Amino acid sequence: MTTIRETTATKRRRFRQLFPERSDYLHLGRHWHTDLLAGLTVAVVALPLALGFGIASGLGAFAGLITSILAGMIAALLGGSNLQVTGPTGTMAVVLVPLAATHSHAGVMLVGIMAGLMLVALALTGAGRYARYVPVPVVEGFTAGVAIVIAVQQLPPALGLPAQNAHILSGAWESVRLFAADPNWAPPAVAFGVAAAILLGSRLHSQIPTPLLAVVVATVATWWAAADVSVIGALPRTIPAPEAGFLEFAEMPELVAAAVAICALCALESLLSATVADNMTVDQHHNPDRELFGQGVANLVTPFFGGMPSSGALARTAVNVRSGAAGRLASLTHAIVLALMMLALAPLVAHVPLAALAGVLIATSIRMIEVGSMLALARSTRADAAVMWLTLAATVLFNLVWAVAVGIALAGLLALGRISRSVSVEEEPIEPADHHDEEAALLHEHIVAYRLEGPLFFAAAHRFLLQLLDVADVRVVVLRMSRVSTMDASGARVLADAIKRLEHRGIAVYLSGLEPVHAKPLAALGILEPIWQQGRLFEHTSEAIAAARQRLKADGLLEQLEAEAAAEVEAERP
């Protein structure tokens, strides 16, 4: 009854922790000036990215902009990180392209709501803490793969062509072929000029909002020269009223897989981004479950206003931290400033060339790849390098969910291999105390002690069995269990099988140092009860060896062994 009450109290406490507390906002008055400045800086950087990712997803520039405003505001209030900036991301845009092509804007919004519900469910179950187990090679390969996908997807707009509804590689090749047949050099000049300006500006002065300046210059130049380039077009100047006409419950079953993919990507990207933000500061620590809750609510709300699925944005979060943000007011300011920009600048934004936004995203993708970190991983171990490169390849060739799944699976298999090789079964000498040298020799010959060390689980069980059964003709085997770190059902079954085989050969098995947590699977197999009843289960190895010695004496085996040894000595005399 007490355990049930404690579990219920734990669940209630976890549920309360998902909502904002007064302590989250106590520091706003102390850092409001730096937070306002940081939020303004992030908004300037986020405007071209929001427009670009909205277009890249196939949903349009307004979808990206309204998502940055609403999702950014909701996640800033409800999320688990004081520094996280939420909005549309390149990773999300990559996944949404085929979804928008097959299920239209309404299908994407329905998927967003389904993913939001899944994120809230993950938060309620406390799943956020498991994000720390994603291996670094998977993250690096995934990030680099996403960067490549974003850059390749921008080739059609950078060449002045419509998006190709095919695989990114074949679509890019088709765009190059069409451009070569009828070239228009204005769009690529704008795109690669903007990309070069951003990359050069970021090296010269990181505090200058180069993306926005580059887009403004490109827009003015193409308008003044009347260049033949496609532009964004008219945008709404107000936040639309909520609308729920897209809720077609009959379509939900066929969208479940897409919703799971969006949920997984949002959770992964948001928690990784929040972790990076923590690492860039000294006193910040995010709540992973609350972050999932905030992202889930944001994805539940934004579809009703025409928005797209969103997540924590690593690039904008990093800008937020570098700009001096200390609390949630910065990310909240970013969303408010974007809303003011939409209200005031919508007529001007309509003239922004699509090629200029393609250049922003190409530059962003190049800056996403951490070359130094990837080279370090490639040189570390062959296993880490294989995981990283395979994840990267799967990201480009297949899709992002498969890439993460393949990377984690491969990393897990390699880790299991390394862990299984750490299991050891070593014979230990028996302490000579309490018996004379002749008896010690006999005991060493007929009593063997083995120390089991490491995790005894399915990946190491077979090798463990072979090692343990490779014993000479002895009468007693003492198994020291105190250094077994973990034991699963497979390990327990193999151990039970080894004990039965040894006893079938007439060898008595004694156990020492067995932890209660490891005794449970052995008891379930029915192997522990007879050992305990026969007095062969001990806390210390010395006790087990003493009991084994008494057993040999009680059974008259010690005298028999001494007689056999004496007979052998007599037979060897001339």
pLDDT by residue, tens only, the chain of 574 residues: 444 444 566 666 666 667 766 666 666 666 777 888 888 878 877 887 788 788 878 888 888 999 999 999 999 999 888 889 999 987 787 778 888 888 888 888 999 999 999 999 988 888 777 766 667 787 778 778 877 877 887 888 888 887 665 567 777 788 888 888 888 888 889 889 988 988 888 777 656 667 778 888 888 888 898 888 888 777 777 788 888 877 887 788 888 888 888 888 888 888 877 877 787 676 778 888 899 999 999 999 999 999 999 999 877 887 788 777 888 889 999 999 899 888 887 788 778 888 887 888 788 778 777 777 788 778 777 877 888 888 888 878 876 666 767 777 777 676 666 665 655 565 656 655 444 444 455 455 577 888 877 777 655 555 665 666 666 567 888 888 888 877 777 778 878 888 888 888 888 889 988 888 888 888 888 888 888 888 888 888 888 888 888 877 776 665 666 666 666 666 666 6
Cβ pair 62, 346 in contact under 8 A: no
Q: What is the pLDDT of residue 436?
A: 44
Alpha-carbon torsion 229, 64, 209, 338, what sign?
positive
- Of 444, 447, 448, nearest in space to 436 by CA: 444
Could you give the 3-state DSSP secondary structure of residue 447? strand
- Which is nearest to 340 in space by CA: 65, 63, 37, 48? 65
Cβ-count burial 407-442 (b if 16+ within 10 Å, e if not): bbebbeebeeeebbeebebeeeebeeeebeeebbeb
65 Cβ contact list (under 8 Å, min separation 6): 47, 50, 51, 54, 235, 338, 342
Three-point CA angle 314, 320, 322, nearest 5°:
100
What residues have CB less than 8 Å from 285, skipping those under 6 apart?
278
Quote the strand ranges of 406-475, DSSP E: 424-428, 447-456
- 3-state SS class at 253: helix
Q: What's the whole-model pTM score?
A: 0.65
Distances 115 to 264, 292, 301 between C-alpha atoms, Å: 9, 11, 11
Question: In sequence order, what are the residues at sequence separation of 6 or more whose Cβ sits closer than 8 angstroms to the Cβ of residue 293?
Answer: 18, 19, 78, 79, 80, 119, 120, 123, 124
The answer to whether the beta carbons of residues 352 and 223 sit under 8 Å apart is no
The reported pLDDT for the residue numbered 568 is 63
Residues 42, 50 contacting (CB under 8 angstroms): no
- Amino acid identity of residue 140, one-letter, is E
What does the pLDDT read at residue 116?
A: 94
Crossing angle of helices 28-56 and 354-368, in 10° steps, is 120
Which residues, 6+ apart, have CB-to-CB distance to 451 below 8 Å? 424, 425, 426, 428, 480, 483
In angstroms, the CA 240 to CA 66 distance is: 9
CA atoms within 13 A on the CB side of 350: 10
SS3 per-residue string spanning 183-215:
CCCHHHHHHHHHHHHHHHHHHHCCCCCHHHHHH
CA angle, residues 342, 346, 351, in degrees to nearest 5: 140
Measured at the alpha carbon of residue 180, what is the angle toward residues 175 and 181, in degrees to the nearest 5? 100
Note whether 297 and 120 are within 8 A (CB): yes
DSSP label at residue 88: -
Least Cα distance to 264 among 64, 449, 95, 79 occurs for: 95
Please, how many CA atoms are within 13 Å of residue 12, restricted to the half-sphere of its CB? 6
User: Which pLDDT score, from 0 to 100, does residue 6 have?
Assistant: 45
How far are the Cα atoms of 153, 159, 163, 178, 283 from residue 183, in angstroms, in the given order? 19, 8, 16, 8, 54
Q: CA 114, CA 116: separation in Å to the nearest integer?
A: 5
- Which residue in this structure is represented by tokens 């008891």? 523
For residues 570 and 567, what is the distance between their CA atoms, to the nearest angstrom? 5
**DSSP label of 165:** S
Q: What is the dihedral of CA 442, 446, 449, 455, to 10 degrees?
A: 160
Distance, CA of 214 to CA of 181 (rounded, Å): 29
Q: What angle do CA 43, 195, 369 make, to 5 degrees?
A: 85
Q: Could you give the CA distance from residue 139 to residue 460 in angstroms, rounded to a whole number?
A: 28
Residue 507: name the closest of 556, 552, 566 by CA.
Answer: 552
Q: Quote the pLDDT of residue 159.
A: 85
